[in-house]
Chain A
Amino acid sequence: MSVRFRLLLFFCLFSMATLLQPIEGRGAWSPDVSHFYGPGGMMVYHVESHANPLIMVEILVPGGASHDPDGKEGVASLVAWMFNEGGGEMGSEAFREKLDYYGISLSASAGRDALTVSFSTLSAHLDVGWKMLMDALLKPRFDPTDLERAVADQVASLKKAQENPDSVASKALVRAIYGDHPYGRPSQGTPETLAAIGRNDLMRFHEMAFRLPNLVLAVAGDITLEKLKLLVDDSFSAMNNIPSPLRPTPLAFSKNRPDRQHVELDVPQTAIRLGAVGIHRHDPDYYAMVVMNQILGGGGFTSRLTEEIREKRGLTYGVFSYFSPLSGQGPFVVGMKTKTASVEESLVLLRRELTRIAQEEVDEKELEDVKLYLTGSFPLSLDGLSKLAGIWGVIGFYQRGLDYLEKWPGRIRQVTAGDIRRVAKRILDLDRFHTVTVGRTVEDKGAEPGNADSKP
């Protein structure tokens, strides 16, 4: 049982997009990548490494939760949940048994934009594993009894999430920011929408999502380029080669009016979220945003928010900011938790820091330190096969170009104090921000026996 020190909990509903944030580089070290097009124009990235007998694969398609049909929210997440529940001739039980027997891992997850399939195997079992992967991709089963089990699991996890102040706050914030926009939907669905989803909905969604012209395949590890090309040509040509009708989420939408909401939950600590619409993946201010966010509340223990709220005042265990550059404009979010009595003080401090970075130019030393971190920690983001497959998958999905990693450090170095102020002014305008608090309205320790301070 280990207590992790200072682990910031990023309850990021848009987790995939954040993958791209901590990549940076001193000498721009990164292992060589090969890129080619497979059948139907599918994009393939390959990083070869024989240091270990392992192969990691990521497949991305436009099949994230923002593509869920109206009234059937949760379809994408169920397709992902059921991704390893059988394929071809093999039903769930036989399929799972075989995966375990060969020590193969196969799973999927639905983000906002993309559905991501993750597959890893020892290279000795590549052929067995690849066949199973292709069965899951091309001949999914979605057997009704398995679907029923998936829904029961999902409903239980939705219920469980209601206990968690961070989850409740994140969901409320997303709804407040996006309203009816596809990014505002409940990505895991609701008990009602999940009940309305049948096997045909999953088959249809799966068929629309997995189309060759929209598919990105990233492979890292103990496999040669020749072998990969053979596998890809042999197996993927059976997939539909008509472009997916699932289009990227529109960039523009009408914004909700900013507001403040409170959700009552009987916990001794309140979760706070402030958020607004941020930027999309191709925004020209992307790099300025990376640097600005790092100064304000990015990872590690060096941000202004950490300094002011944790280090100086001991008000929280973790305070953070993040942005999710998606196909459309993803959110910019600031969050923390603090005891009930400190909520108003914390809100004042959070708002003060959001205002300060938009009004005062950051000093050169602070800017330089953050650039040194961002560029210097570059190799740390690429030091394993799973990281490499993950990062190239996202680069391919958002079409960031083969030189993306190589150019990243230089682009970070070019960001000026003026750029930071400009992007902060544009995005961190408090008049656009929604505020959510989840906790008790007033501190009243005596009222709930279970929740007061612990005693031995």
Chain B
Amino acid sequence: MSKDRGRGWLRGGQAALLFSLVLWSVNAQALVSRSFTLENGLQTVLVREPKAPVVVTQVWYRVGAADEEAGKTGLAHMLEHMMFQGTEKIAPAQFSKIIARNGGEDNASTAQDYTNYWIKLSSDRLDLALSLEADRMRHLRLQEAEFDSENLVVREERRSRTDSNPTARFLEKFRQAAYGDHPYGRPVIGWMEDVKNHTIDDLRQWYRRHYSPDQAILVVVGDIDFDGAEQKVRKLFSPLENSASWQRPPLPKRVQPDQTVRLDLHDENSQLSHFFAGFSTPSFTMGDVKEAFALELLSTVLGSSASSRIYRQLVVKEGLAVSARSGYGGLSRGEELFSLSATPRPGVSLEQLEEALFVEVEKLVAEPIGERELQRAKNGLIAGHLFAQDSVDRIAWLIGRVSVNEGDWRLLVEEYPDRVQAVTAEEIQQVAQRYLKKSRATIGTLQP
């Protein structure tokens, strides 16, 4: 999960007080934005960022791999590829060529929760980007010939990403073990058998059901003028009609096994041994926002940099590992895995490594972290948050990523620094106690 953060600024005296150890003299400043929803339900967020004459458009559909049925995995991603293969107006494979001729770039991505499409170009070409997106929202052609060859491309993609990579193969099984029957346990790209069995009718049905203005969020960030941009959006997207309305069902809850789930595999193609642990945790959009902020800080303290606990202890001091890190994304619609991973030094067993990692976890469970360490973690997250706004793409991405789960993007964009500052050492200890239990973990090892 990405650590992307858009723009956010410290505001007022409260932040300055909390920041007593290092005073960050950042001026109060919010994102310059305008939000509106069309009658057909299309949700739109415009952000003005005039530092360069470029604009990025992102269309986020509220559908992803988690909405697939067993046996039909990979459909969301397959459709994503087909979105470049022609509409009633645009010939197959012409989409990206038209954008390139206009000095632009484009791409897309699919995940468990969403399917996302972006175009980036010179800001005087915003019309073009919007009209291409409006067109393919409702008028995709989906022909057999293009599907047949694009399906081969996706098989190659699966071979490339997963089947030729021992760690990726392992992690696919690891997620399956961690999530059981929950949709997050299935690979986004789909199982190869399922991908081979996709049909053009599957895709037509998927497209009809899910590609509709009321299922989408449009984010536009760049050197734009709000009135002009809003007018264009209204003109191009208002005429689009909704498909028979599909209500996204709530994600099933992951069933928490009552003991540690283990997955120990040997793969002769793996050159190194690796240790992984995943703890099921709530995300920002699941309700308790405070817990999510505490988890983000917990991960930073535990293993997100060279001054984090497991790097210092296992890699530097004890020399047990060549690398050790933790991760928490927090942006999913459902529960996600707070991860721990490490690679042992030659001669160190995975058992030794596991033990040493859990010693560090136990320390966080037993004692609240110190003031300097807490402030260091906060400063790091806030600095990362500020650096991310160097890029219009990342601002747009974060707004869309949060909105697609019906979350409030202002919380993670504008309010982020204040929220991070407000987390206490006790709250971090509490989430460590609640979630980092070995009995709740999925533990995996991969060995040659």
Report A's interface with B, CB cutoff 8 A: 1-7, 9, 26, 29, 31, 49, 51-54, 56, 84, 92-93, 96-97, 99-105, 120, 122, 124-125, 149, 152-153, 156, 159-160, 162-165, 265-269, 300-302, 307, 310-318, 337-339, 369, 372-373, 375-380, 382-386, 450-451, 453-456
- With contacts A101-B375, A103-B380 taken as known, whether A314 is within 8 angstroms of B151 at the C-beta atoms is yes
- With contacts A93-B312, A379-B122 taken as known, whether A314 is within 8 angstroms of B103 at the C-beta atoms is no
**Cβ-defined contact, A267 with B164, below 8 A:** yes
A335 to chain B, nearest CB (A): 12
B154 CB contacts on chain A under 8 angstroms: 317
Q: Which of the segments B22-30, B131-139, B245-253, B428-436 contacts the partner chain? A: B22-30
Tell me whether chain B's interface is mostly helix, strand or loop, or mixed.
Answer: mixed
* Interchain Cβ contacts under 8 Å between A and B, 22 examples: A2-B2, A3-B109, A4-B107, A5-B108, A54-B390, A96-B307, A99-B307, A101-B22, A101-B307, A149-B315, A163-B165, A164-B165, A268-B164, A300-B100, A310-B153, A316-B156, A339-B156, A384-B391, A450-B169, A450-B269, A455-B191, A456-B73
Is B415 among interface residues, defined by CB-CB distance under 8 A?
no
A103 CB contacts on chain B under 8 angstroms: 379-380, 382-384, 386
**Cβ-defined contact, A52 with B386, below 8 A:** yes
- Which residues 103-124 in B have Cβ within 8 Å of A in the complex? 103-105, 107-112, 120-122
Closest to B193 in A: A455
Is B33 among interface residues, defined by CB-CB distance under 8 A?
no
Closest to A265 in B: B269
A-B pairs, top 3 by smallest CB distance, nearest first, are A376-B103, A103-B383, A314-B152
A177 to chain B, nearest CB (A): 24
Within 8 Å by CB of A453, from B120, B192, B271, B372, lies B192
Is B194 among interface residues, defined by CB-CB distance under 8 A?
yes
A454 CB contacts on chain B under 8 angstroms: 158, 162-163, 169, 172, 187, 191-193
A6 CB contacts on chain B under 8 angstroms: 81, 107-108
A159 CB contacts on chain B under 8 angstroms: 271-272
A455 CB contacts on chain B under 8 angstroms: 191-193
A194 to chain B, nearest CB (A): 13
Within 8 Å by CB of A5, from B80, B268, B379, lies B80
CA of A48 to CA of B73, assembled, Å: 49
- Which residues 271-327 in B have Cβ within 8 Å of A in the complex? 271-272, 305-307, 312, 315-316, 319, 322-323
Q: Interface code B362-393, partner A: CB below 8 Å = 1, 0 otherwise?
A: 00000000001001100110111011011110
CA of A384 to CA of B7, assembled, Å: 14
CA of A147 to CA of B421, assembled, Å: 36
- With contacts A96-B306, A152-B322 taken as known, whether A2 is within 8 angstroms of B152 at the C-beta atoms is no
Within 8 Å by CB of B103, from A51, A156, A313, A373, lies A373
**Cβ-defined contact, B70 with A100, below 8 A:** no
B373 to chain A, nearest CB (A): 9
Closest to A5 in B: B108
B163 to chain A, nearest CB (A): 5
- With contacts A5-B109, A269-B160, A317-B157 taken as known, whether A156 is within 8 angstroms of B322 at the C-beta atoms is yes
B170 to chain A, nearest CB (A): 10
B7 CB contacts on chain A under 8 angstroms: 52
B21 to chain A, nearest CB (A): 8
**Cβ-defined contact, B162 with A314, below 8 A:** no
B169 to chain A, nearest CB (A): 7
- Which residues 12-70 in B have Cβ within 8 Å of A in the complex? 22-27, 51-54, 70
**Cβ-defined contact, B193 with A1, below 8 A:** no
Is B188 among interface residues, defined by CB-CB distance under 8 A?
yes
Is B102 among interface residues, defined by CB-CB distance under 8 A?
yes
A122-B26, A380-B122 provided; 18 other pairs, C-beta below 8 A? A2-B110, A99-B307, A100-B306, A149-B319, A300-B96, A311-B93, A311-B149, A314-B148, A314-B151, A317-B154, A337-B159, A377-B104, A379-B53, A379-B122, A386-B390, A454-B192, A456-B186, A456-B191
B209 to chain A, nearest CB (A): 20
Closest to A314 in B: B152
A269 CB contacts on chain B under 8 angstroms: 156, 159-160, 163-164
CA of A369 to CA of B97, assembled, Å: 9
A156 CB contacts on chain B under 8 angstroms: 272, 322-323, 343
Within 8 Å by CB of B149, from A7, A162, A312, A377, lies A312
- With contacts A102-B22, A103-B380, A314-B151 taken as known, whether A122 is within 8 angstroms of B386 at the C-beta atoms is yes
B380 CB contacts on chain A under 8 angstroms: 100, 103
Is B444 among interface residues, defined by CB-CB distance under 8 A?
no
Within 8 Å by CB of A152, from B24, B155, B345, lies B345
**Cβ-defined contact, A97 with B307, below 8 A:** yes
Is B244 among interface residues, defined by CB-CB distance under 8 A?
no
CA of A104 to CA of B387, assembled, Å: 10
Closest to A152 in B: B322
